[in-house]
Amino acid sequence: MSPNSRKIRFIMELRQGGVTDTRVLAAIERVPREMFVPEAFHDKAYANVALPIGRHQTVSQPGVVALMTQALEVGDRDKVLEIGTGSGYQAAVLSKLCRRLYTIERFPDLLKEAEARFAALRLTNVTVQAGDGADGWPRQAPFDRIMVTAAAAAPPERLVDQLAVGGVMVAPVGADGGEQDLVRFRRTVDGVVTESLGPVRFVPLVAGVAPA
């Protein structure tokens, strides 16, 4: 099966899996996932599986990426923060939907590789930083949307605090190796409203910056 045929089938599978937002589907269709996985896994780029990217990290299942992106409800004028750049795939999808994307990664080598991919794809609205994702990016706060791609053991209050009023954050919450729940946080003038979106499995959100 050709790469183009795999992608067409992949988009159809996303629709069948509950991804109905046409903007999200179009963004995913425009991002070549094979660029964000190791060459040895290019034949699996459009399979609905998580794939290793080094440093004991993975690029999430595309079905999970799509559902999380849909749940984030990104608008084209939104300022978005992503925690956990990884290979850059989720960031590339988000960049097609928002005005400006800020993304943080604790592994400098993964971030350098992701930045090269962003440059190759001419994604000019992405700003990267090596740092502790749990701290967020206070100097650029508040954000309209925050996407967290690693599981916090408890609701990440420092990130919630960086949401603008009316903002939305989607984050996996739960212990590494235990039950994790995908949670949507909405910041209102009266506080924060949470909504469970179902079980997930993510690598843990680890404090600090890893050595280069």
Cβ atoms of residues 47 and 7 within 8 Å? no
Say which residues have a Cβ less than 8 Å from residue 133's Cβ, sequence separation at least 6.
Answer: 83, 84, 104, 105, 106, 148, 150, 205
- Only one residue has tokens 């924060």, namely 192
**Degrees, nearest 5: CA angle 36-41-46:** 70
Secondary structure class of 209 (helix, strand, coil) = coil
> DSSP letter at 60?
P
Give me the catalytic one of 60, 87, 95, 196.
60
User: What are the distances in angstroms from CA 90 to CA 1, 26, 36, 167?
Assistant: 25, 14, 10, 19
Q: How far apart are CA 102 and CA 121, in angstroms?
A: 16
95 is catalytic: no
- The residues annotated as belonging to the active site are 60
